[in-house]
């Protein structure tokens, strides 16, 4: 008996992972540096703004003290005394800071406040309390005698400056959110490219031994080997060719052709039924015949295969799988049901996210690929129609051929 050497082939996943890590290290370092630099810049801006606010507040108090001094001179002057233009200019220049002057006899004088509002004593008292919280009142004395008390609030400019750091933080937060989503989207795009590249490389690597298998099978036929053996090998080769075609189409726009959705679903159903455990009971029902849709047969079969295998995993290899096709106006609904343990309602959308899996040994890529095949390539919809402890129903919706 001759010994046939089987060629070894495969992807060097360790080397690809190492290359990916080397590529991601500088990017990660630059992101950390950018984050630290942003934090330092924001801290400096906030510190500088706070310092400017304090300085501006001190200057405003100094102006109020000058105003209080001028007011003291005014209160002590006689009616015929000439104060000169200095005091008048001091009074006229203060047009921004709201003030309430409470004289010794209890009379109140306001400045830079709404005239209608100051006529309300309750409103004036509330403003006095607010001014007292914002700034320390200034006592106006002359030669030991208390003449009045000046209450003043923050000017409009100072109030705006006070809220400036909050507005700045909000802008920085929004800017940071935009950067975060940009990097997240960029990372997802890089991951998609990586998976697409690995898939195409896998298809390329499988192609070489697949060609050799075709040649070896022809040699076996020439040696008058049992035809049943070579026939089964042909089936396995055909299966490998289908897998290769699927992987080669990842990352590229597949070609869609008119096809009968009922017939294509039935073929996928028959293939899976023959190769599944006898503990799995299959059923197929269709309430529509010859329903044409634009379809990529290979990718659609992969979709049905993924949904059925997920159902079998959920049932732990024992239960009932049902495929039902229903008309829905211009659409057709393909329902894949199982009697598994069900899906938590909060995970209805998460199960289609790349990396999400409830299996101990799973990559979480099956349903994400199914969603991409159905929604991006075939312009259809896929969702969890219902799920409970009694089982799960997955629904695919596809538009009929020629409908707008």
pLDDT digits (tens, 9 = 90+) for 322-380: 999 999 888 999 999 999 988 888 888 888 877 667 666 655 677 888 898 899 889 99
* pLDDT computed for residue 86 by the predictor: 55
132-169 pLDDT per residue, tens: 888 888 888 877 778 888 888 887 777 777 777 777 77
Q: Beta-strand (E) ranges in 213-352?
A: 257-260, 280-286, 292-295, 319-328, 331-338
94 falls within a domain: yes
| Position 9 pLDDT exceeds 60 | no
Written as six digits, the tokens of 154 are 């923050």
Could you say which of 154, 186, 214 is where a domain stops?
A: 154
Distance CA 88, CA 315 (A): 92
Residue owning tokens 């049905």: 304
* pLDDT computed for residue 43 by the predictor: 78
222-247 pLDDT per residue, tens: 888 888 888 888 877 877 777 777 67
238 falls within a domain: no
| Position 1 pLDDT exceeds 50 | no
168 falls within a domain: no
220 falls within a domain: no
Verdict on whether the full-model pTM lies above 0.85 = no
SS3 state at 182: helix
Distance CA 240, CA 206 (A): 8
| Position 273 pLDDT exceeds 60 | yes
189 falls within a domain: no
Q: Which of 29-33, 100-104, 238-242, 270-274 has the lowest mean pLDDT?
A: 29-33
Nearest to 250 by CA among 151, 360, 354: 354
The three-point CA angle 257-259-262 to 5° equals 150
Residues 267, 387 within the same domain: yes
CATH number of the domain to which 370 belongs: 3.30.565.10
Distance CA 389, CA 393 (A): 12
112 falls within a domain: yes
Residue ranges making up the domain that contains 64:
46-154
Distance CA 68, CA 147 (A): 11
Residues 150, 264 within the same domain: no
Distance CA 107, CA 171 (A): 46
248 falls within a domain: no
* pLDDT computed for residue 326 by the predictor: 94
Give the max Cα distance, the chain: 137
27-51 pLDDT per residue, tens: 567 667 777 877 787 778 778 777 8
> Where does the pLDDT of residue 317 fall: very low under 50, low under 70, confident under 90, or very high at 90 and above?
confident
73 falls within a domain: yes
Count the neighbouring beta carbons within 10 Å of the beta carbon of residue 50.
14
Query: Are 247 and 365 spatial neighbours (Cβ–Cβ below 8 Å)?
Result: no
């Amino acid at each position: 008996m001759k010994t046939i050497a089987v060629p070894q082939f495969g992807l060097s996943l360790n080397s690809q992972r190492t290359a990916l890590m080397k590529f991601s290290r500088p990017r990660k370092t630059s992101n950390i540096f950018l984050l630290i630099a942003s934090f330092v810049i924001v801290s400096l801006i906030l510190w500088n703004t706070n310092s400017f606010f304090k300085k501006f507040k001190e200057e405003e108090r100094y102006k109020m003290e000058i105003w209080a001094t001028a007011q003291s001179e005014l209160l002590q002057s006689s009616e015929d005394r000439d104060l000169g233009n200095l005091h008048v200019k001091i009074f006229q220049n203060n047009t921004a800071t709201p003030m309430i002057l409470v004289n010794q006899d209890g009379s109140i004088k306001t400045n830079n406040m709404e005239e209608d509002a100051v006529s309300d004593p309750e409103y004036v008292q509330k403003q006095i309390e607010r001014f007292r919280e914002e700034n320390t009142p200034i006592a106006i004395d002359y030669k030991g005698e208390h003449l009045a008390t000046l209450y003043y609030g923050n000017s409009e400019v100072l109030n705006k400056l006070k809220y400036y750091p909050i507005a700045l933080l909000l802008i920085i937060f929004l800017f940071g959110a935009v950067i975060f989503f940009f990097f997240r989207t960029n990372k997802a795009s890089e991951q998609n490219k990586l998976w697409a590249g690995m898939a195409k490389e896998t298809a390329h690597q499988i192609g070489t031994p697949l060609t050799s298998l075709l040649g070896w099978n022809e040699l076996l036929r020439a040696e008058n080997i049992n035809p049943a053996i070579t026939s089964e090998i042909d089936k396995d080769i055909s299966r490998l060719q289908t897998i290769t075609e699927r992987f080669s189409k990842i990352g590229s726009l597949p070609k869609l052709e008119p096809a009968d959705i009922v017939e294509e679903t039935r073929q996928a159903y028959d293939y899976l039924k023959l190769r599944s455990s006898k503990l799995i009971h299959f059923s197929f029902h269709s309430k529509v015949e010859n329903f044409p849709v634009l379809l990529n047969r290979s990718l659609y079969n992969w979709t049905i295969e993924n949904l059925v295998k997920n159902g079998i995993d959920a049932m732990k290899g024992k239960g009932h799988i049902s495929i039902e096709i229903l008309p829905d106006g211009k659409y057709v609904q393909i329902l894949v049901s199982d009697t598994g343990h069900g899906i938590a309602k909060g995970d209805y959308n998460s199960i289609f996210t790349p990396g999400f899996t409830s299996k101990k040994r799973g990559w979480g890529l099956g349903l994400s690929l199914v969603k991409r095949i159905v929604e991006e390539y075939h312009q259809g919809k896929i969702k969890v129609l219902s799920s409970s402890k009694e089982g799960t129903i997955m629904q695919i919706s596809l538009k009929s051929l020629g409908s707008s």
